Structure 1
Amino acid sequence: MTATNRQIQLASLPTGKLGPEHFQLAEAPMPVPGDGDVLLKVLMISLDAANRAWMQGATYRAALAAGQVMAGGSISEVVTSNAPGFVPGDLVFADTGWQQYTALPAKLLTKQQRRGPLSHLLSVYGIAGLTAYFGLLQVGRPKAGETVVVSAAAGSVGSLVGQIAKIQGCRVVGIAGGAAKCAWLQTELGFDAVVDYKAGNLNGQLKAAAPGGIDVYFDNVGGDILEACLFRMNLGGRVACCGAVSQYDGAPPAHGPRGVPGLIVTKRLTLQGFVLFDFAAQFDAALGALQGWVESGRLKVPEDIIDGLENTPAALIGLLAGENVGKRMVRV
């Protein structure tokens, strides 16, 4: 074990686009676990668009402040334990922040069962997989034969949402940026149709891809794409509001979705936001289903792994720019 603890700190809060200047690499003393604490070695850090949203103010967690270790979840290994129920070598998920080591109260740790590659604990068996599972099946409530549209479809959550919708017998349309990502969604993941939002004529593309309208829209981006999808919704359609990545980084949009109140009323639409931990009591059942689909080959697990703690800021900035395909994470 090293004598010091390398950290990525938030040097300043961005007012515009996130850049490397907003982070700093620092060294701190090795943390010492107190009574009831567990010393953790961080193995793999999860990168999510939500990392950027936390810089804007309080959400479902406290707002971030300049000078603190950048927040983020990870898969970590127990080094020493001063708490019952945890022993060296255990794997846990925790909000460790971007650093090599941390000491946390045992009550803040979630022990992890080994299920295939370690990286899967951050992707399909982690927040991404569980968000896709509950957001689609319990919020979107798709039925076989319906049309499901998902934005940010080549990302960590969207790539799983589309595949789970196919498993449920739905017709699936993915919205992604760039011809390469769109082709990958169809050839590798089996999406029925795709929309390249970077190619222009979003409304025309969406009408061609979903000529019978949209029954379920899984929204990861908000903004103009949400507006376009709302106008294609069928009577009684459901919108699972998972994220708004188009509004996290840089200047806020000039307008929100227009004509929404009338659409919601006349089409009897349901727009529901959700937070993953609303479904915590059902995690075990969901993980069992996800593992079954993975092991049977029905659910592919795209991952984008970057090595080195020092590369974490650039990896997040790249994620916000849409560089990744599948779940992006950093191997510390």
Structure 2
Amino acid sequence: MVLAKKYIVLAPFHGEPKKTDFKIVEEELPALKENEFLAEAAYLSIDPYQRMKLGSTYPCNMIGGQIAKVIESKNSNYPEGTWVMGHFGWRTHTIVHPDDEKLCNQKPFMYALPDFGDLPISLALGACGRVGNTAFFGFTEICKPKPRETVVVSGAAGAVGSHVGQIAKILGCKVIGFAGTDEKCAWLTEQLGFHAAGNYRTVDIVEFLKTHAPNGVDCYFDNVGGELSSSVMSQMNNFGRVAVCGSISSYNETDPEKRKVTITQPYIVAKQLKIEGFLVNRYADRTMDGILKNLQWIKQGQLKYKEHITNGFDTAVDAFIGLFRGDNKGKTLVKL
């Protein structure tokens, strides 16, 4: 008998998520059936998108990806000892039937991990996983950067933003980032090689860009939204491209007045900007292509990563809340 622990969400989030929104419950798992395997979680992924409405009824299970190890198997494709990435939610143990269509609505629902060599397996949730693929496909497919163009990244010290900025550098672009502390900005310029980084809490965005991007902005990778993004778009060149990955500035906002931002349509029309939102699942059929490309860059020393890891299943909620307070640099994970 295996006793699994899992997080359930008691009610829809209102404003910033709270510890009282969650509860840990235990669940007795049945014996394995044919073609099933039992996966034991090693790392949980903590991401801003988990702030979304999770279901039509509550309580409901908390969503999310995890790295897990197969510890018992009746599926020859996933023998014991196999490492997998799966969207199993915040739970310690999961019985998986890889061919169950009900489980496979989120593509890819799960996959076995390639050989990471000496690199930590945790990268499968970050730079060599959904995060890395979000950065790689969102930036290269939507922004379509060209060498010597100027790229701006908001939320640049986060997992996706820091990754995008480094890809832009690899592709020969000038990179400017915005983050929420001077320490994070120093990390971006001194460690990751951003050409400039500004603390959006203390700098004038427009003046900062006039100084550091005097010839205008060609590509903008937007993780934040709000007034910051309006200011960036005002400084873009004709035919600039904007990839909208997130809008973290508004996720926890409950005051309708604070959701109002500068009207951007005049910039969009006059500069003939292309603005496109995306979800990484759009590129699900190319998942392994993105993983292997990012893995190659890391092994070549062209791409650095940073992980913000907390230890213990019971730390997941604090780590999640910390995302919206800017506590993290790089990818947030919980190690079980």
- Is the 8 Å Cα contact of residues 29 and 95 (structure 2) preserved in structure 1? no
Give me the whole-angstrom Cα distance separating, in 2, the residues matched to 1:28 and 1:286: 35
1:200 positional shift: 4.4
Whether 1:318 aligns to 2:317 is no
Whether 1:205 aligns to 2:208 is yes
1:74 maps to which residue?
66
Q: Secondary structure at the match of 1:172?
A: strand
Q: Secondary structure at the match of 1:89?
A: coil
**Structure 1 residues 65 and 203 mapped into 2: Cα distance closer, same or farther (>3 Å)?**
farther
1:143 maps to which residue?
146
**Which deviates further from its counterpart, 111-120 or 253-262?**
253-262
Of 140, 165, 169, the match for 1:166: 169
Give me the whole-angstrom Cα distance separating, in 1, the residues matched to 2:110 and 2:138: 24
Amino acid at match of 1:146: E
Of 220, 241, 246, the match for 1:243: 246
1:60 maps to which residue?
none
- Is the 8 Å Cα contact of residues 222 and 246 (structure 2) preserved in structure 1? yes
1:103 positional shift: 1.3
1:136-178 Cα distance to aligned partner (Å, 9 max, x none): 1111111111000001100000011001100011000001001
1:246 positional shift: 1.1
- Is the 8 Å Cα contact of residues 164 and 299 (structure 1) preserved in structure 2? yes
**Structure 1 residues 109 and 64 mapped into 2: Cα distance closer, same or farther (>3 Å)?**
farther
1:200-245 Cα distance to aligned partner (Å, 9 max, x none): 4232223323222110000001111111111111001000011111
Give me the whole-angstrom Cα distance separating, in 2, the residues matched to 1:77 and 1:140: 36
Please identify runs of 4+ aligned residues in structure 1 that moved more than 6 A.
none
Q: How big is the alpha-carbon RMSD for the aligned residues of Structure 1 and Structure 2?
A: 1.7
- Is the 8 Å Cα contact of residues 13 and 65 (structure 1) preserved in structure 2? no
TM-score for the superposition, normalised by structure 1: 0.92
1:24 maps to which residue?
23
Uncovered stretches (5+) of structure 1, i.e. residues with no partner: 56-62
- Is the 8 Å Cα contact of residues 43 and 335 (structure 2) preserved in structure 1? yes
Q: Secondary structure at the match of 1:128?
A: helix
Amino acid at match of 2:27: A
Uncovered stretches (5+) of structure 2, i.e. residues with no partner: 100-108
How many percent identity over aligned positions?
Answer: 35
2:199 maps to which residue?
196
1:9 positional shift: 1.7
TM-score for the superposition, normalised by structure 2: 0.91
Q: Secondary structure at the match of 2:266?
A: helix
**Structure 1 residues 249 and 32 mapped into 2: Cα distance closer, same or farther (>3 Å)?**
farther
1:283 positional shift: 2.9
The 5 Å alignment of 1:1-332 reads: 3-55=2-54, 63=55, 65-107=57-99, 108-115=109-116, 116-251=119-254, 254=257, 255-332=259-336
Give me the whole-angstrom Cα distance separating, in 1, the residues matched to 2:45 and 2:30: 21
Give me the whole-angstrom Cα distance separating, in 2, the residues matched to 1:31 and 1:186: 52
- Is the 8 Å Cα contact of residues 120 and 126 (structure 1) preserved in structure 2? yes
- Is the 8 Å Cα contact of residues 146 and 171 (structure 2) preserved in structure 1? yes
1:322 positional shift: 0.8
Give me the whole-angstrom Cα distance separating, in 2, the residues matched to 1:252 and 1:239: 27
Give me the whole-angstrom Cα distance separating, in 2, the residues matched to 1:278 and 1:35: 31
Q: Secondary structure at the match of 1:268?
A: coil
- Is the 8 Å Cα contact of residues 6 and 25 (structure 2) preserved in structure 1? yes
Q: Secondary structure at the match of 2:318?
A: helix
1:59 maps to which residue?
none
